[in-house]
Amino acid sequence: MNFFGYRGGHLFVEKVSIASIAESVGTPFFCYSSSSLEHQYLELKHALDPMGVRICYAVKANSNQAVIKTFANLGSGADIVSKGELIRALDAGITPDKIVFSGVGKTRDEIRHALEVGVGQFNIESPSELELISNIAQELKKTATVALRVNPDVDAQTHDKISTGRKADKFGIDIDLAPALYTQAAQMPGINMVGLALHIGSQLTSLTPFRDAFERIAILVQDLRAAGASVKRLDLGGGLGVTYTTENPPDIEDYAQTIRSTVSSLKVELTVEPGRFLVANAGILVARVLFIKNTPVQRFVIVDGAMNDFIRPTLYNAVHDVLTEKKDANCKLSSAQVVGPVCETGDILAKAANLPPIEPGALIAIASAGAYGAVMGSTYNTRLPTLEVMVREAMTAVIRPRPTYEDILSLDQLPNWL
Ligand code: LLP
């Protein structure tokens, strides 16, 4: 279901025109559809509820408080990877017992804080991390609930930079080494070993790697149990892909069926950690055309949004659709490169968009920018952080205002010798 579409030739989000938002808040800005977020969550919940699978939203995909709260209100838990994300999740109303603390490099301070607030589960990724958690838990006279993240050596068949389950990747404990560490962990003071976790990568468009990984971890559960260990929980990670342009990601019911056929008979409490699936297609990045520059080889559409606002095309060569605010079915489309003002050749939002004739002052939107958009933004070139808006039917709310230049400069301090 698409909550972005044209009415009378103009781009709308739900019942609000993009042009009217741009008029009131300026450009560039991210715009999220609240109904779309809700729709995605409920679709996933509907497919997974019969198996009792808990959804822990991977906050890293979009950590605006309004987005986290939208999911919290629907009953979601959270997958977090830092103290900052933990603070966000709690502040948005997610109770600690529904929070999973993932990540390969947790600091002493982060572990201490997570134990103090009582997070529901730590997914650990190395023997030294396990030891540190055990020590801090003892200091605090607490027990840490722990799952061991396994590296199942499965290629997720996605972009190299977002593949996490291959033997050579930094994530998880090698599946062959997992049984020994699990048994050892189960005896450590301050540790309550409850199960296993995995996450093999992001933007998976085939179920095969999921199935391979789930089958491998199911065997591991059986082996551990045969050796006398207790395995009560299984965290299957995130990774479900979405359609950006022509991708054909798995149907959500088929994803659920893959879970059913591989691990549901193990009688474990199941969790998933989706990020992108819940938010990617619920957001767009709106920018205004500054100039058109025609060169002998290219039509450049120079806009006021840039790689600091949205880095996916630069970082992963990601291809996102470009929508024009005005749509006229009679206009001829031709190739254009949509670029920003940042002083790097890689500052490209769309390498080969198919656009109608377009003039300075017009608005364009980068589609499917709700996941890993605003959260990966920076102030490179001393550009201001991107404003964010959420729309619900006819209501519009700024959910992150644009800071001022004074705000940005106030973060710096001069040394006393200058
Ligand atoms: N769980 C863990 C442990 C993760 O590391 C991630 C994402 C997720 C869950 C959520 O994965 P998702 O359902 O969103 O695929 N910046 C990249 C994506 C990085 C993903 C990092 N980990 C991009 O823009 O494609």
Q: What is the tens place of the pLDDT at every residue in 321-370?
A: 999 999 988 899 999 999 999 999 999 999 999 999 999 999 999 999 99
Which pLDDT belongs to residue 303?
98
Structure pTM?
A: 0.98
d(CA 418, CA 415) in angstroms, rounded, equals 6
Distance 239 CA to ligand 1 centre (A): 6
Intervals of CATH 2.40.37.10 along the chain = 4-32+280-409
pLDDT, one tens digit per residue, over 53-97 is 999 999 999 999 999 999 999 999 999 999 999 999 999 999 999
343 is catalytic: yes
Ligand 1 closest atom vs CA 274: 13
Which residues face 195 on adjacent strands? 147, 233
CATH 3.20.20.10 occupies which residues in the chain? 63-274
Close Cβ partners of 393 (under 8 Å, ≥ 6 residues apart): 14, 15, 35
- Mutation choice for ligand 1 from 60, 81, 148, 317, CB with most ligand atoms inside 8 A: 60
How close is the Cα of 326 to the center of ligand 1, in Å? 33
- Picking from 77, 46, 58, 35, the residue whose alpha carbon sits closest to that of residue 269 is 77
Q: Taking CA 113 as the corner, what is the angle to CA 108 and CA 118, rounded to the nearest 5 degrees?
A: 125
Contact 384, 403 (CB under 8 A): yes
pLDDT at 1 over 70: no
Cα 184 from Cα 158, distance rounded (Å): 34
Q: What is the rounded average pLDDT for all residues in the chain?
A: 97
Tokens linked to 185: 């962990």
pLDDT in tens, 215-234: 999 999 999 999 999 999 99
Instruction: Kindly indicate the confidence band of residue 264, based on its pLDDT and cuts at 50, 70 and 90.
Output: very high
CATH 3.20.20.10 is right for the domain spanning 63-274: yes
- Tens digits of per-residue pLDDT, 26-41? 999 999 999 999 999 9
Q: Are strands 348-355 and 334-339 parallel, antiparallel or unpaired?
A: antiparallel
pLDDT, tens digit, for every residue of 376-406? 999 999 999 999 999 999 999 999 999 999 9
Please give the distance, rounded to the nearest whole angstrom, from the Cα atom of residue 83 to the centre of ligand 1. Answer: 17
Per residue, what are the HEC states of 339-368?
ECCCCCCCCEEEEEEEECCCCCCCEEEECC
Provide residues with CB under 6 Å of ligand 1: 58, 60-61, 79, 102, 162, 199, 202-203, 237-240, 273-277, 312, 316, 372
What is the homologous superfamily of the domain 4-32+280-409 according to CATH? Lyase, Ornithine Decarboxylase; Chain A, domain 1 (2.40.37.10)
Match 């055309």 to its residue by tokens. 289
Take atom 9 of ligand 1 and give the residue whose Cα is closest.
238
* Per-residue model confidence (pLDDT) at position 258: 98
Q: Using the mean position of ligand 1's atoms as its centre, give its distance from the Cα of residue 360 in Å.
A: 36
Strands 299-303 and 283-294 come out as antiparallel
